[in-house]
Structure 1
Amino acid sequence: MPRLSRRVLLAGGAGAALLPGAAASAGVQAADLTSLRGQSWRSLQRYFSLERGLVYLNNGTLGPCPRPVTEVVHQAWRVLEQNPAEQGYGPLLEQAEAVRAEAARFLGCGVDEVAITRSTTEGMSAIAQGLHLRPGDRVLTTDQEHPGGRVCWDYLARHGGISIDAVRLPKSPADPATITACFEAALTPQTRVISVSHVSYCTGLRLPIPALAALAEAHGALLEVDGAQAPGVLAV
């Protein structure tokens, strides 16, 4: 089992590429969202291109971007098309590195611990494929995982011979220790990975990630966290 610098890996999303404050280059300016601060929810509606009257709640899967962000995306695409090789391997690549640094500050980790992916699912799958799990190894997860965070383990179970154990999370846990105890009871000597969501996409239950990280470390396992629902809402 390879050892990584952190026991907890947050599988990041492509949205980090548009964090305000990222260094501008190649004529592409970072999205300025400062004008949105302090405004009412109703006044903020005009910054989005959603259908009129639509109440959109699926922000953790495919969330809408405010127009200042989409404008930056379009601007970057136009700059890239002016000279794809020159821009893609030069100024725009440098800007991606600036974005990584901004994302690291936002998440409270080192720059070398951040990888920009196109989705959380891609990030989760990349980690799962890179762990080199063997037949008989076990992954401990829950019964409330988003399919995008579960499919990587289902693939390895089908094609790599690993086994998956799922903790049945309590509907109304008395406290975080109750949740941690469920995981501790489900661990086996063959458990190599604990894979959980920081916040459940179906119930909103917040898992005690620090306690689960300590449990995984004590067991010699890796904790992989599907963090799609948390950054920007909770301190991670």
Structure 2
Amino acid sequence: MIEQTKCNAILQKEAESFRNTSRRTFIKRLAGGTAVIAAAPYISCGKAGDSFEALKESAGALSTGNIGDEAFWREVKKQFIIDKKLIVMNAANLSPSPVPVMEILFELTRDVDRDASSQNRSKFSTLRQQTREAVAAYIGADPEEVAIVRNTSEGNNMVINGLSLNKGDEVVIWDQNHPTLNVAWDVRAERYGFTVKKVGTPLKPQTAEDLVEPFRDAITNRTKVLAFSDISNITGVRLPENELCAMARDAGIITVIDGAQSIGAMNLNMHDIGCDFYTCSSHKWMMGPREAGILYVKKEHITDLYPSIVGVGWEGAIGSGTARKFETLGQQANERIAAFGKTVEFLDAIGKDRIEARILSIAAALRDGISKRVPGVEFYNPQNREMSGGIVKFASPEIDLSDAGSTLYETYGIVCSVHGGNFPGIRLSTHIYNTMEEIEKATEAAAGLV
């Protein structure tokens, strides 16, 4: 009750602050990372612990190449309000957001509900552009190449339905693609008559060439598009995106990459990869708000890609000559787009290289622990860090998958996914809010299923 009283008092105080803050001041404070509630010590309803400012100081004190010790990562974990009884290892599906992102989202939601006028909401044009610029810098793109969409699924379908394809053309895809970069191609092919060729890769690839060769063999002079997931959501295998894009580019083939399992976990640069289109969501590895995502469109394709949705603001968007033409999606929750910008600030504060190193390190520790504790265990993704991300997908003949998910959650507090189908097994997705202590507990939980 005392904590709730404190929380209510803060909210009441900040509501009064809203009423006395001009829109111009509000935007400056938000852009500077000092928005009212987000800058306050986290005596919040979530009991998040240390402030974001303190975390930024700790991260800034680390030298380049220093991944940070366990004390640092415990400080990172304090930025989340995860139930202490749970160990969340489900980033491949949905990650919790850190408190700085939550508070910006809540603050802006309250602000709009306090004053829903177009005058008050006019600030979101500025905030959207700030988010676009932050996202572009984060993924190694130019701002004009970035459209803020609702999620990876929407971005994928915009590309699939916006490209010009005809009868006789071929689209080559990975058979491990997410349905929105797999089934969605089949649906369009039914209508327009082009061919979709699904490529399988070895179950236990040893080298990058093992993953490139099947695609090379599938390509013909009729192939117009190569579409693949950067990291498979069902096995955790990571494809060599740079090599695949270079191969496609040499053959005059357009590349479409689903990066839902990469951005936020891996340090990637769109211009270095050399892809034509790239999509991702905020709510997975980026740990951002739900229903915010990225559609990257290489500059030379902005004009040629037809929009799937045309709404209010179309004339101005098309006139800009930028990827904004894919953003006229009707009324949106602009507060989540602004919070998306705070997400990037949070990731940048810790550091992309540091995040990637931490995720790969604890994923390797988890894999190592499970391999020692679970008899007959088989992993779908290789131990090679170049061919894996934060996903650890495994199965054992000693484990009954039919109730593994409920047992892991109800008995051990492990939040994860269990799959059937062609790649049956348990998927654990490690992230920066996981500690080494949790890795050990997850290992014990896996052993407890036997």
TM normalised by structure 2 equals 0.44
Could you report, residue by residue, the CA deviation over 1:71-130 in whole angstroms, capped at 9, with x for unpaired residues?
111112222331342244x21111110111111111111111111111111111111111
Aligned to 1:101: 133
Q: Within 5 A, what are the aligned runs for 1:83-232?
A: 83-88=116-121, 90-232=122-264
CA contact (8 A) 1:28 1:76 kept: no
Q: Residue 27 of structure 2: SS of its match in structure 1?
A: coil
CA gap 1:123/1:177 in 2 versus in 1, 3 angstroms? same
Bigger RCO of structures 1 and 2 (CA < 8 A, at least 6 apart): 1
- Matched AA of 1:216: A
CA contact (8 A) 1:26 1:91 kept: no
- Matched AA of 1:172: K
Q: Partners of 2:126 and 2:215 in 1: how far apart?
A: 42
Q: Residue 235 of structure 1: SS of its match in structure 2?
A: coil
CA contact (8 A) 1:26 1:87 kept: no
Aligned-pair CA distance for 1:207: 1.0
Q: Within 5 A, what are the aligned runs for 1:6-21?
A: none
Aligned length: 212
Q: Residue 197 of structure 2: SS of its match in structure 1?
A: strand
Aligned to 2:27: 25
Aligned to 1:63: 95
- Matched AA of 2:27: S
Aligned-pair CA distance for 1:201: 1.4
Gaps of 5+ in 2: 1-25, 40-51, 60-67, 269-450
CA contact (8 A) 1:47 1:67 kept: yes
Aligned-pair CA distance for 1:57: 2.1
The farther-off stretch of 42-51 and 73-82 is: 42-51
Q: Partners of 1:124 and 1:87 in 2: how far apart?
A: 33
- Matched AA of 1:72: I
- Matched AA of 2:231: V
CA RMSD of aligned residues (A): 2.3
* Pair 1:35 & 2:54 matched: yes
Q: Partners of 2:251 and 2:92 in 1: how far apart?
A: 31
Gaps of 5+ in 1: 1-23
CA contact (8 A) 1:28 1:75 kept: no
The farther-off stretch of 188-197 and 149-158 is: 149-158
Aligned-pair CA distance for 1:146: 1.7
CA gap 1:109/1:161 in 2 versus in 1, 3 angstroms? same
Flag as ranges the 4+ runs of structure 1 deviating above 6 A. none
CA contact (8 A) 2:175 2:182 kept: no
Q: Partners of 1:55 and 1:26 in 2: how far apart?
A: 37
CA contact (8 A) 2:199 2:215 kept: yes
Aligned-pair CA distance for 1:150: 2.3
Instruction: Give me the identity figure in percent.
Output: 31
Q: Which has the larger radius of gyration?
A: 2
TM normalised by structure 1 equals 0.79
Aligned-pair CA distance for 1:54: 2.4
Aligned-pair CA distance for 1:51: 4.0
Q: Residue 61 of structure 1: SS of its match in structure 2?
A: coil
Q: Residue 225 of structure 1: SS of its match in structure 2?
A: strand
